[in-house]
Structure 1
Amino acid sequence: MQRNKSIKCVAYDKELLKFLRPVDISQYLRVNGWEHVEDIGNKGAVWKWRNEAGEEAEILLPLDRSLSDFVNRMAELLHTLEAVEQRPRQLIINDLFAPNRYCQPTSSDIE
């Protein structure tokens, strides 16, 4: 019975992923220690993460929501974030849909 709930949850996640905005994900990655290292035209951006122990991860962030594999790429991105952050998928999705929750104010925001 639990297995069916997991399958439904994953399908629900994929449906939600098509509504994620790449600009919000870029902001989330930056705030959480990821480094933007390369653009792939106007279709994608490569981000890398490294911790103090030298562990690394890489994400390909799709930038064009009209791409046929946008949802699949977002699912891969989310899977990587789950592994790196060691947090449940739903908490990460909640953060990605509420970018102001994790945004750190800059000096220009305070003035």
Structure 2
Amino acid sequence: MAKKGETRPPATSPEVQEARMVNMAYKLAEKQMMEGTASSQVITHFLKLGSSREKREMEKLEEENKLLRAKTESLESAKHVEELYAEAIKSMKKYSGHEDE
């Protein structure tokens, strides 16, 4: 966490800025917990992160993401196969002398 008066170079993207802010929030929360000054909301937040329910929800989200990636790959593969079939039919028509061009 930057000390008062300490400056950092500007973030190169919104994602970098967000990561910086999250990192600062975690460091502040850790400091407050170590000093015994953390609010009940901060403590509850971290308790939830460590709960088995939260872990199951994260695993579920990861599996849903895998499924979405697999579906996307399947659609892309089907499109590629369709293109191959169209090319094969075109070649067969050309070979048999029935080209429609």
TM-score normalized by the length of structure 1: 0.24
Higher helix share: 2
Rg larger in 1 or in 2?
A: 2
Higher strand share: 1
